[in-house]
Amino acid sequence: MGAVTVRGATPADLGALLVLYEELADKAAAAPGTREHSEPVLAEILADPARHLVVALLDQQPVGSADLIVAPNLTHDGMPWAIVENVIVAEAARRKGVARELMAHLIDLARAAGCYKVQLLSGMQREEAHRLYDSLGFAAVAQGFKLYLE
């Protein structure tokens, strides 16, 4: 098995991110935009100091990504909290430690930002992902709700 590394995304990762997000999309409305539309969006994400869009590499090839957002907070003595979104590992690279490295990296970033918690939502059918999150210390402590506005 090759070495997994995780680093911050760059504009050069856009093509790989769009391919990964195609795999992540569970419905047409969730599919990524065109490259032309996505370039300024990626630039905005990368310029936001509260966002940490990361790419996982397996043998130097992009095979995964996740996004951490750190939010200021008035509770918990002003400590921020973080949320993880858009976790994806290419199907061909699953069960090789990629998701574990992605999540460990994001947890480290949240700790470094002084966050008191990291939270995420995961589809109820994603039992394998839930086992990973459990093994990393996450606990299913709430019921999640979504309201799609599209």
On the question of pLDDT at 27 being above 90, the answer is: no
Mean pLDDT throughout 104-111? 97
Contacts 24+ apart (CB under 8 A), 45-48: 45/9, 46/8, 46/9, 46/10, 46/11
Helix/strand/coil percent split, the chain, to 5? 40, 25, 35
- 30 three-state secondary structure: helix
Instruction: Give me the pLDDT at residue 11, please.
Output: 97
Question: Predicted confidence band at 14 (pLDDT cuts at 50, 70, 90)?
Answer: very high
Q: What is the pLDDT of residue 149?
A: 85
User: Could you tell me the pTM of the whole model?
Assistant: 0.91
Say what the pLDDT of residue 29 is.
67
Burial of 112 (0-12, 13-18, 19+ CB in 10 A): exposed
Q: What's the average model confidence in pLDDT over 23-37?
A: 81
Calculate mean pLDDT across residues 48-68.
Answer: 96
Residue 76: predicted pLDDT: 97
How does the average pLDDT of the chain come out, rounded? Answer: 93
Architecture of the domain delimited by 4-135:
3-Layer(aba) Sandwich (3.40)
> For residue 76, how far is the Cα from the chain centroid?
24
77 closest CA partner among 116, 108, 118 = 116
Average pLDDT over residues 93-118: 96
Residue count (the chain): 150
Q: What is the mean pLDDT of residues 10-32?
A: 87
| Mean local confidence (pLDDT), 70-99 | 95
pLDDT reported for residue 26: 75
Average pLDDT score over residue span 10-37: 87
Beta strands 51-58 and 4-8 are antiparallel
Q: Given a cut of 70, is residue 1 above it in pLDDT?
A: no
pLDDT of the residue at 9: 98
